[in-house]
Structure 1
Amino acid sequence: MASVFTFDPNPPRVSSPWLRPEESAKNSGTGGSSPSSHDESNQAGEPDIDRLEAEPQEGPIEYKLHLLLRGRRRYEMMSTSIKASGSRSKPLRQPVANMSQTRQTRLQQLTTQLLWRLQQSSPYHAKARGDLVIPKLPEDHESLEVLEKPQRLLPGLEESNGALYEIGVADDGAFIGLTKDEMDESMTTLKIIAASLGCRVEVQRMKVVGNCEWIEQPSPDGESPEEQARHHDDLWVAEALVMPILEPQKDLNDDGDQAHGHQGSSASPAKDASQTEQFRVSIIGPTTSGKTTLLGTLANGTLDNGRGSSRINLLKHRHERVSGQTSSVAQELIGYKDQNIFNYASVDIEAWTDIHDHSETGRMVFFSDSAGHLRFAGPSCEALLARGPHSLSGTTDDLGDMADSLNLALTHLDLCLLLEIPMVIVVTKSDVAARDALKSNLNQVFSKIKYAGRTPKLLTPKAASDNVLTEIPISSQQQVLKEVVEPISRAESLLSIVPVVLASAVKGQGIDLVHALLATLPMPPPPTARDYVPLALNPEQPAALFHIDDKYELESRVVQTSTRASDGKAIVVAGYLRFGRISVGDRVVIGPFPADDDEARGQIPRDHPTPGYGLSISHPSTSELARIASRNAVPASAVKGEWHNAKVVNIRNLRLPVRTMGPGQAGTIQIVLDDVNAPADRDSEVEQVRAFRGLIRKGQVLAIPSQHMLDSGLSLQAASGFTAIFKDHRVANLTGGGGTLVNVYVATVRTAARIIRVSRQLPDRVGRADGEPDDVFNMAESIELDPAHGGRDDSDVSALPEYSVTLDLLSSREWIEMGSQVVLMEGGNSVGLEGYVGKVVEIAE
């Protein structure tokens, strides 16, 4: 839920007010110096200051005179009070604080204050999605250890950078101080309220700032004050850092199992993981087809003005707004629950975390809007290979006059059909399309779909209304259930039906059907490690596998408070979890990286430019070919430094902070790398970490080794090449013997490869689907299958041979899963998407 308060999206770092400005900048994020013990002397090197800056009204710093649940005793003299007041008048004889609240009320107030401070240091300030747990009073429980034991972290605090408490300090920054017993009691109270929120307390510093004198109050036996001893004690101030506990703890799990290592991939769903259904949708199609405008209407809940007003918020760069063409991948999230649509037009939705809250137990759809221009057509395949359950493809308003756009749209369609991806076809700008041209183009689309053995289903839109942007009409949902969902259920295949929707982002026609499809289409089964090949063909699968699609760096308290040297940057990788489960605290491996030793590095060829659009690549020399050939003779286990260990310290599932990511979900994972060589010089180690972090790239994987791999000492095996099977006679045109360079797409891997050989296998027969395609406008005209638009004669269909293609990777070794789909594309192709789709059947280590 969106907060009623206004928060800074870039909250102030947790930085100690004890530090000078230059020291504060150097130690930003650590909350001060290293934690200190409760010694009874001033710490060496402590700044010689007698007061702090006044307490800031906002941010993670909190000045507390004390954290007692009772009133302070009456003091005869306090040296710090005299200094604070600036007067040398008579000694202080009044109580320093008067507790008019009950102990339970005081405890509740302190807990709420701590929660507020923790939220102040969170960049997203998500509302805590759980009830505030008010801890018990110390006397209500037999053991303080139980009260100080951290509970499960309150949901919503996962992104907090912590809260810094200055104890014994007045609001104006003056050092008042507490006696030893008062400081111990205040620390105990702070630990108790922090534990109730799932946090821990780290004491940063303690310092003597003065002394005091008091006389004990009369005892119940009636002793007079004159008979009481006069007491003297030092006055202490302390700094304590309250930090959320992100690592799973054994005692916090209901089943008693520790979420660590391979156990993080348990099949039982974790309570702290998102349980909402999640669709991943890639929007592809030619440029100017209205893909981004359509997404803007779906995500923002506003109709377009005919000039792209609904897409403005989705464009990232100025040149995109000027040209009107998308050149980067935009991502959006929409939630559905019952008939409700949760987008930015909904009340109290300002961020993705709000969509998570509203659509809980419903469904969320994660969109990736790709660029449509020809120069960006190649990378759009990577979104397809992410295996999102559904893809949306758009055509233009008058494809008859835009042959290039039509050909590119049909090429997108061919690629989706070859990849066997469930899809929805959205014909945008249908309100201004010419009837005859639209019918002709749809006939071609239907022909391709029918020929692939799938059934196109045209959904006729009704008159648009304003409420289709905020909720799904019952009639639209029933139409989708009857005409699409039920036939898919009967066929028991997500590929059986291809819905086709005529839509308009200006008039709103068909938008209700698109929302209804996204909200009701069947979910695919959760992916497993055995989806591609059975156990017998690929026995050594990791317990969890995360494909890296991007890498980020940000300031992190987790790295800066660790024992490892760091430059203050955290490693965050983005992608999707292919199978298994990954939890905070899991030990993972990341790679493959370039080899560490010179001998292994010499067996890996030099980097080559990938053969992209219109790029000509020269052939390698004889010595380079020999190096490529010799590489396959080296087993993968002999390549030193190819895989490195790391620890997961933070996870976001579609920007929602979670402790566990489930199979098929997308998000970001923050990791801390283990020491590589651990040099003695800290500066050298920082440089080493920085250089090593630069090697993390798209196409790598995070993996949790299986129990068998851990017991046997086996490591993951990267591939230097592979063999794939293609059911496409055009593959025979690829010359073997190292003469052809191609782009290879496998999952998130995009790399250059060389064709080693192409051989023909046994033929495989493919049949054609029966029946005639639907008529677009309920007309009786037959639709002829034109070979120029994807059809083939019976002789072509009767015997399609299989071709085995062996490739050698040029630039680096990659993780390639046995049985995964692969797309080959030749460099300099005129269309950019006419590739060859096959399946990996052998890995060359």
Structure 2
Amino acid sequence: MDFMITQFSPEESLPIYNHARNNRLLSDGDDIVNYNVNDFLPPENDNGNIEYKAKLINPSPSRLQHLITQMKWRLREGQGEAIYEIGVEDGGTLVGLTDTELKASILTLRKMASDINATVAILSEREVAGKNSDVVRKVAEVLVRKVPDNQQFIELRLAILGSADAGKSTLCGVLTQGVFDNGQGKARLNLFRYLHEFRSGKTSSICLDIVGFSSDGQLVNYKHNTLEEIVDRSTKIITLIDLAGDSKYLKTTIYGVSSLFPHYCALIVNARVGPTLITKEHLGLAIALNIPIFIIVTKIDNASSTQVEKVLKCVECLISRMGTNRVPKRVKIKEDAVTYGSSLTSSEIVPIFSVSNVTGENFDLLMCFLNVLPPATSGISKLKQKQLSCNRPLFSVEEIFRVPKVGLVLCGILTQGVMSEGDAVQIGPDSSGAFHLGKIDSIRRNKQPVMVIRPGEAASVAVSFVSPTNVNSLRRGIVIMSAKEIGVSCKRFVARFYLLYHPATEICIGFQGTVYLGTLCRTATIVEFDPPSIQPCVWVNVVFEFYRTPEFVLVGTPLIFRMGQTKGMGEVISVTEELTAKLSDS
């Protein structure tokens, strides 16, 4: 069976730069393995959240203060998380420390962290030895975590992609419930929302649940905690977005990835089947939206070692042939998990795990990886973060609920600005393109009340209107803006567009399909473009027109366009024929 044919991009071989670490983690029960002092890591980067320290022994007060200032910088770079490599020189050479030196260095690190109310967790220790020397020295990898003062916890959103029967819901069930599967799909039952999902065993909707990590890196889930306790006891919370794998629910999956703004995508592959057409569809979707990816090969307990190896090679070949610079890397030890996890947003590596939801094999590697995944905004520059916070608030609505005794509740993500309880806002556009004045009554995150939300945070917002409003005219895809802004909706917009695949040789004016723009999922028509026609694998400027009602479109939003086998991607570059929406309350 040939898994390697993909419609997303031409197949090509890419040069691979291997900057993975050369050493092996020693776990309990392992024999001691000696490494040469010439083994090394990549040189230390002045930016980012990874710091190398040859030793930290009895620093002077002035030196200690300098080290604390340096730790604050690394924590800011990592949005609350920093990785310290103890026993490593700035150039990356593993010099190692004796047991006494390592213990003293860790003690100094704890003093530094305690001074700024941060926590320290030792991720791994490994032994190195000098050439022609019997003295065993150690190198330690340490996670320092401090929840920013303006946040309740560090938050990540992880989309779970893959074909049907790959084990996506089962994996989510094992993570959230803390109990391994019985081999018959028992773990997935906690994720299903509809009766037909229980009957078929297939997810057809978007299912959300959370797991947390405590300050010492321990997994916090529903095994011994309620939802409120998970939120209260966790310094990092990961929202798992379980998406459908059946091809007939592909529109739902695309909408979920586009509208929920996941920070990472986990692509699940069945070890008995290997990559399928849906696997390639989902992989292409994540790449089109520029979302960091990692691969999890499941059901290795139900496949021979030869079959697992064959599937792993197929996955590696598929990633290498997607027309990008992404490099597949297998995760075999905890050191790999820490290395690839901490640098996932800043490198082109695609980590590959092989796990069993039944026996729990390699689950410790996956837990270590999730624990060190960089926070949501670590890949955004400080200037960009500041700009997002200083902008007027813009809240993208993904779900609308009418709650008894509460009123209208809008669920979504704040893409820019800061929104507080009591703020005067405008909500729209409705089906006529108008915005409605209102007020933020309350805000909740993971069912916990908060006063303020910031860029990238998901929340549920209860709103009320200044004057009577027909809430039936509001639908998914609307936005909440500051009342001081001018509400603008548009019928047409221009996008820089790249046609990935089309059954015919070209697309002409009048072609109609579904366009995904963040929380928007609307029918749109191609009404104009630069060349005489749109051909696959060529960038063009295309004017799209919404089929029914005007919508709010933000310049710079990634775009997915689909109709049957036709698929393309792009980015909004301008909005045309703007209609300044009159406030219905004015």
Please state which band the TM-score falls in when normalised by the shorter chain.
0.5 to 0.7
Describe how 1:104-115 pairs up with structure 2 within 5 A.
none
The CA deviation string for residues 824-843 of structure 1, in whole angstroms up to 9 with x for no partner, is 001x33xxxx6211111121
Match of 2:278 in 1: 408
Structure 1 residues 433-582: aligned runs within 5 Å:
433-450=303-320, 451-460=323-332, 476=334, 478-485=335-342, 488=344, 493-525=345-377, 543-556=392-405, 570-582=407-419
Contact 2:355 2:362 in 1 (8 A): yes
Work out whether residues 494 and 573 of structure 2, in 8 Å CA contact, stay in contact via their aligned partners in 1: yes
Q: CA deviation at 1:504?
A: 0.7
Does residue 328 (structure 1) correspond to residue 205 (structure 2)? The answer is yes
Q: 2-side partners of 1:759 and 1:531: how far apart?
A: 32
1:372 aligns with 2:245: yes
Instruction: Give the Cα separation in 2 of the matches to 1:554 and 1:500.
Output: 42
Give the SS at the match of 2:251: coil
Say which of 156, 171, 178 aligns to 1:301. 178
Q: 2:192 and 2:309 mapped to 1: Cα distance? A: 32
Per-residue deviation, 1:270:
10
Residue in structure 1 matched with residue 36 of structure 2 by the alignment: none
Task: Classify 1:733/1:666 alpha carbon distance in 2 versus 1 (closer, same or farther; 3 Å).
Answer: farther
- Residues 207-228 of structure 1 show CA distances to partners (whole Å, capped at 9, x for unaligned) of xxxxxxxxxxxxxxxxxxxxxx
Per the alignment, residue 545 of structure 2 pairs with 808
Q: Is the 8 A contact 2:499 2:567 kept in 1?
A: no
**Conserved? CA contact 1:723–1:804, under 8 Å:** yes
Call closer, same or farther: CA 1:445–1:723 in 2, change over 3 Å.
farther
Equivalent pair of 1:573/1:669 in contact (CA under 8 Å): yes
Q: TM-score, normalised by structure 1?
A: 0.47
1:188-239 Cα shifts (integer Å, max 9, x gaps):
xxxxxxxxxxxxxxxxxxxxxxxxxxxxxxxxxxxxxxxxxxxxxxxxxxxx
CA distance in 2, matches of 1:727, 1:447: 24
State the alpha-carbon separation in 1 of the partners of residues 206 and 303 from structure 2.
Answer: 27
Deviations 1:517-568 (A, max 9, x none): 2110112427799969x99xxxxx9611111110111122xxxxxxxxxxxx
For 1:650-669, list aligned pairs within 5 A: 650-669=442-461
- Rounded Cα–Cα distance in structure 1 between residues aligned with 2:340 and 2:194: 40
Other structure's SS at 2:361 match = coil
Which amino acid in structure 1 is aligned with residue 339 of structure 2?
K
Secondary structure of the residue aligned to 2:488 is coil
Q: Which residue of 2 aligns with 1:737?
A: 509
CA distance in 1, matches of 2:243, 2:411: 17
Tell me what 2:488 maps to: 717
1:149-184: CA deviation from partner (whole Å, max 9, x where unpaired): xxxxxxxxxxxxxxxxxxxxxxxxxxxxxxxxxxxx
- Note closer, same or farther for the CA distance 1:433–1:803 as it changes in structure 2 (3 Å cut): farther
Query: Once the 2 structures are TM-superposed, how far is the Cα of residue 434 of structure 1 from its aligned partner?
Result: 4.1
Whether contact under 8 Å (2:341, 2:370) holds in the other structure is no
State the distance in 1 between where 2:381 and 2:424 align. Answer: 20
Name the residue aligned to 2:300: 430
Paired AA for residue 242 in structure 2: D
- Residue aligned with 1:816, SS: coil
Query: 1:354 aligns to what?
Result: 229
- Out of 159, 180, 192, the residue aligned to residue 315 of structure 1 is 192
Cα distance change, pair 530–378 in 1 and its aligned pair in 2 (3 A): farther
Separation of aligned partners in 1, 2:148 and 2:220:
25
Task: Kindly provide the amino acid, as one letter, of the partner of residue 667 in structure 1.
Answer: A
1:840 aligned onto 2:572: yes
Contact 1:298–1:511 (8 Å) recurs in 2: no
Match of 1:606 in 2: none
> Structure 1 CA distance, aligned partners of 2:266 and 2:420?
32
Structure 1 residues 542 and 580 mapped into 2: Cα distance closer, same or farther (>3 Å)? closer
Give matches, 1:96-245, under 5 Å. Answer: none
Q: Deviations over 1:230-261 (max 9, x none)?
A: xxxxxxxxxxxxxxxxxxxxxxxxxxxxxxxx
Distance 1:434 1:417, change over 3 A: farther
User: Pairwise mapping of residues 24-63 of structure 1 onto structure 2 (< 5 A)?
Assistant: none
Cα distance in structure 2, aligned partners of 1:373 and 1:730: 20
Amino acid at match of 1:651: I
Distance across 1 between alignment mates of 2:339 and 2:362 = 17
State the Cα deviation string for residues 53-88 of structure 1 (Å, max 9, x = none). Answer: xxxxxxxxxxxxxxxxxxxxxxxxxxxxxxxxxxxx
Q: Secondary structure at the match of 1:377?
A: helix
Q: In the aligned structure 1, how far is the partner of 2:244 from the partner of 2:423? A: 36
Structure of greater Rg: 1
Match of 2:132 in 1: none
Aligned pair in 2 of structure 1 residues 437, 804: CA closer, same or farther (>3 Å)? farther
Q: Deviations 1:335-378 (Å, cap 9, x if unpaired)?
A: 102221110113xx122x2111101xx21101111121111111
Aligned-residue CA RMSD in angstroms?
2.8
Task: Write the distance in 1 (CA, Å) between the matches of 2:381 and 2:462.
Answer: 23
Asked whether 1:698 is paired with 2:435, we answer no
Distance 1:339 1:542, change over 3 A: closer
CA contact (8 A) 2:329 2:349 kept: yes
- Taking only the aligned residue pairs, the percentage that are identical comes to 26
Q: Is contact 2:300–2:354 with CA below 8 Å preserved after alignment?
A: yes
Instruction: Say whether the 8 Å CA contact 1:590–1:645 is kept in structure 2.
Output: yes
8 Å CA contact 1:575, 1:667 repeated in 2: yes
| Alignment check: 8 A CA contact 1:760 1:801 kept | no
* Residues 457 and 484 in structure 1, CA contact (< 8 A), matched pair in contact too: no
Q: Distance in 1 between matches of 2:408 and 2:496?
A: 37
Which is worse superposed, 321-330 or 752-761? 752-761
Q: Is the 8 A contact 2:341 2:372 kept in 1?
A: no
CA contact (8 A) 2:176 2:210 kept: yes
Counterpart of 2:414, as a letter, is L
Q: Deviations along 1:25-76, whole A, 9 cap, x unmatched?
A: xxxxxxxxxxxxxxxxxxxxxxxxxxxxxxxxxxxxxxxxxxxxxxxxxxxx
SS at match of 1:812: coil
The code of the aligned residue for 1:737 comes to I
The reply on whether 1:593 has 2:430 as its aligned counterpart is yes
Shift of 1:420: 1.4
SS at match of 2:431: coil
Aligned partner of residue 547 in structure 1, secondary structure: strand
CA apart distance, 1:390:
0.9
Q: Deviations over 1:628-665 (max 9, x none)?
A: xxxxxxxxxxx6xx111110011111211111112111
**Matching residue of 1:673:** 465
Task: Give the 3-state SS of the residue equivalent to 1:388 in structure 2.
Answer: coil
- For 2:222, the aligned partner's letter is Y
Contact in 2 for aligned 1:589/1:643 (Cα 8 Å): yes
Aligned residue pair count: 421
The gaps in structure 1 that reach 5 residues or longer are 1-268, 462-475, 536-540, 557-568, 596-638, 677-688, 762-795
Unaligned runs of 5+ in 2: 1-146, 579-586
TM superposition shift of 1:717: 1.6
Aligned residue identity for 1:668: S
- Equivalent residue, structure 2, for 1:746: 517
2:169 aligns with: 292
Going from structure 1 to structure 2, the CA distance change for 1:594 and 1:736 (only over 3 Å counts) comes to same
Indicate the SS of the match to 2:276: helix
